Structure 1
Amino acid sequence: MLNRLFRSVRNFYVATGLALLVWMLFFDANDLVTQARNWWKLHELEKEATYYQEQISRLQVERREVLGNDRLREKFAREKYLMKKPTEDVFVIVDEQNEPIEK
């Protein structure tokens, strides 16, 4: 009699545990699919953050070079923004895709 009681109580706890596990894996707000999606998004955002950090450091180096020298500042403005003096004409040579040859 006591053995049957323990077995039915144990079966109740096993069934309850399995039901809770199924609920948490598939129906909960933080289910397995949502967790995988969030992990993938975190991975993508970390890659983007790394890319932007590299771009920031590259631009900081470029800024230090340009702002430190008047001649480089003028060269940078001419090449990057196609600025010119009032008495000059600027010609940009492009390739077949209409992109400037020098970048």
Structure 2
Amino acid sequence: MKRAVDLLKNKFFLVTVVFIVWMLFFDKNDLYSQYEQRQQLNKLEQERDFYTKETAQVSKELDELTSNPAKLEKFARERYLMKKANEDVFVIVKEKKKEE
């Protein structure tokens, strides 16, 4: 018991404890803020990876469209419903099922 009282009277120990408590809970970079920032960093890294993959895929499709006229024609027909002069285009739209 005397040892604990002596420890609490030690000014260096008290300053160290106050400093640790301050850094863990009251500082602008406390544990909770660090956790939130880590979560945000992980989310942003996942988004970066997703957009990197999407960019690679789009650039690959662009290379195919610019180098292959058949792919360009297929793309124009599917996306923009373009057609040749002597043909008809039929667009089939599926109806949404109504829930009763």
Most deviating of 84-93 and 46-55: 84-93
Give the Å deviation of 1:84.
Answer: 3.1
2:33 equivalent to 1:34: yes
**1:66 alignment partner AA:** L
Partner SS state of residue 29, structure 2: coil
Q: Following superposition of structure 1 onto structure 2, how do residues 78-93 of structure 1 map, counting pairs within 5 Å? A: 78-85=77-84, 88-93=87-92
Q: For structure 1, list consecutive stretches of 5 or more residues without a partner in the other structure.
A: 1-6, 99-103
Instruction: Let me know the Cα RMSD of the aligned residues.
Output: 2.3
Partner SS state of residue 95, structure 1: coil
TM-score (norm 1): 0.76
Partner SS state of residue 10, structure 2: helix
C-alpha distance in 1, partners of 2:47/2:7?
A: 54
Q: For structure 2, list consecutive stretches of 5 or more residues without a partner in the other structure.
A: 1-5
**2:10 aligns to what?**
11
C-alpha distance in 1, partners of 2:96/2:46?
A: 30
C-alpha distance in 2, partners of 1:21/1:63?
A: 56
C-alpha distance in 1, partners of 2:8/2:31?
A: 29
| % same residue | 42
